[in-house]
Amino acid sequence: MIGEHLPALPILLYLFLALLMPLAAKLGRGLPWAISWLGSLAVAALGAWGLWHTSTEGPIRYAMGSWAPPVGIELVADPLSCFFTFAIGAVSAFVLLHSRESVERDCGASNTMTYYASALLLLAGFSGIVGTGDLFNLYVFLEISALAGYAVLGCGSAKASLSSFRYLIIGTIGASFYLIGVGLLLAKTGSLNMADVTAILHLEGLSPATTLAVVFILVGLGIKMALMPLHYWLPDVYTNAPATSTALVAPLGTKVAAYALLRIGYEVLPYEALALDLRVFDVVLALGAVGIIWGSVMAIAQDNIKRMLAYSSVAQIGYIAVGFGLATPYGYIGAVLHVINHAVMKACLFLVTANLEHRGEGVSIKGLNASLRRKMPVTCACFAMAAISMIGLPPMAGFFSKWYLLLGSYEQGSWILVVVIVVSSLLNAVYFFRVLERLYLGKDEGEAEGASPSRLPTVMSFSTLVLALSLLALGFGNVFIVSKFISPMLPGF
């Protein structure tokens, strides 16, 4: 029964729980929070079960309303979509578990119901993006997640609202580019179903109109995933939004756009035409490499930890783009593995900033000192573990996704890429070690001015610690993850 309806269950569960939020708020003040994180736990369980099931039994296709594709809308559960569904559910579960007190502080106790309803709609959109088998339906879910994301990121300060409004404008441009591309594909192929469009394009090839459609689609998705140089909306949004909101959106929002790029680029559009005629993979590879260095250099220049992490995200998206652009098994494995690794790393790091803000500590790097390690030992240890993983040191998870990207670069004979990845890791060490130096090697200057004497709630420390320890688990389990789950996803290169 579950297997038959698996593709639709994560989406429907999030939508149903979002509709329950007004009633839940009436029944109990903390009920919206509890329902939200329990719902994400359920989606993580569905994703894990689906990943195991589809890896052994094959994909599950689900026709909405019993309208057979290509006329009706089709949802698909396969190893790749279930892998992302699990990531969405697992990461969001720990972020939402962490969020109760920080959401009340940042958005106001009276707005918590609205916040959690928006968060669930955001996650429903993410789940729909990874589960749909229809190009137009992917646009619909992009818009659902975007509209909910503007609300989640814009709550709190006036700066957050302004940054969210700018994100709305740029996000709308990205969605419009994608929609124009889908419209051109529909005009030439007569279908929106991904499998149907794939068959038609592989039979007929790319015409001038479909070539233009490819450009529009890739530019639209590039804006959504903040691919350099289409990333300028990201630093202000991630910096000014409440840290808990950023911890929910930053690990997942750009990753589902990257999923759409992987799905459409490898499985829908003709691979040979993209590789040989349009040189799409080479272009994305070059942009990813530039983004890796640019994001890392800009992160070094920041004093605000949240802004540093925002530019770091630009660099990490570059790693995923490089994996896509390599268009080899090692590149694909590195890109998919880095998606889950970066989701956990960045969620952990932004939860650290949420912990700092909750205690009344500043997020200025210059204001950090060793007294923070004494007052918040678990939070500082979690930052250290996530930072080491971001740099790419073993046995943390970040090392292994970078390792596969290095293998892919070496296999292609691209020594420039090898240098880029190595240099970027050194740059990562520069901006993370300056924080670690202040926390662990600096002077203990006592209580910081204005610091709150209250202890950090246990649930906030617990959520951050679980994500940090997950980086060790992902590192030690990387061989199992790659051999059992990611390798069977490999498209035919």
Q: What DSSP string describes 415-462?
A: HHHHHHHHHHHHHHHHHHHHHHHHHHTS----SPTT---SPPPHHHHH
Q: How many residues does the chain have?
A: 493
User: In this predicted structure, what is the pLDDT of residue 104?
Assistant: 76
Q: How far apart are CA 221 and CA 218, in angstroms?
A: 5
User: In this predicted structure, what is the pLDDT of residue 447?
Assistant: 55
User: In this predicted structure, what is the pLDDT of residue 450?
Assistant: 45
| 20 CB-near residues (< 8 Å, 6+ apart) | 35
Residue with tokens 């901006």: 431
Task: Parse the chain into domains and list their residue ranges.
Answer: 309-493
In sign, the C-alpha dihedral spanning 172, 175, 177, 182 is negative
User: In this predicted structure, what is the pLDDT of residue 144?
Assistant: 93
User: In this predicted structure, what is the pLDDT of residue 454?
Assistant: 59
Closest CA to 99 of 198, 10, 197, 33: 33
Closest CA to 360 of 241, 446, 452: 452
β-sheet bridge partners, residue 63: 74
User: In this predicted structure, what is the pLDDT of residue 452?
Assistant: 47
Question: What string of pLDDT tens digits covers the 493 residues of the chain?
Answer: 566 788 999 999 999 999 999 998 888 888 988 999 999 999 999 999 999 888 888 888 988 877 877 778 899 999 999 999 999 999 999 999 988 878 777 776 677 888 899 999 999 999 999 999 899 999 999 999 999 988 888 887 778 788 888 888 888 999 999 999 999 999 888 888 998 998 888 888 788 888 899 999 999 999 998 898 888 888 888 888 888 888 899 889 888 999 999 899 888 888 887 877 778 888 999 999 999 999 999 999 998 999 999 999 999 999 999 999 998 899 999 999 999 999 999 999 999 998 888 877 777 888 888 888 888 889 999 999 999 999 989 899 999 999 999 999 998 888 899 999 999 999 999 999 999 988 888 776 665 444 444 578 888 899 999 999 999 999 999 999 998 888 888 876 6
Letter for the amino acid at 269?
A: L
Q: Where are the alpha helices (DSSP H) in 190-278?
A: 194-204, 208-224, 234-240, 243-249, 253-263, 271-272
Task: Give the helix/strand (H/E) hosting 60.
Answer: strand 60-63
User: In this predicted structure, what is the pLDDT of residue 184?
Assistant: 92
Tokens (6 digits) for 233: 């909306």
Cβ contact 307:350 at 8 Å: no
User: In this predicted structure, what is the pLDDT of residue 441?
Assistant: 81
User: In this predicted structure, what is the pLDDT of residue 29?
Assistant: 82
Letter for the amino acid at 230?
A: L
Dihedral pair phi/psi, residue 58, rounded to 5° = 100, 175
User: In this predicted structure, what is the pLDDT of residue 358?
Assistant: 81
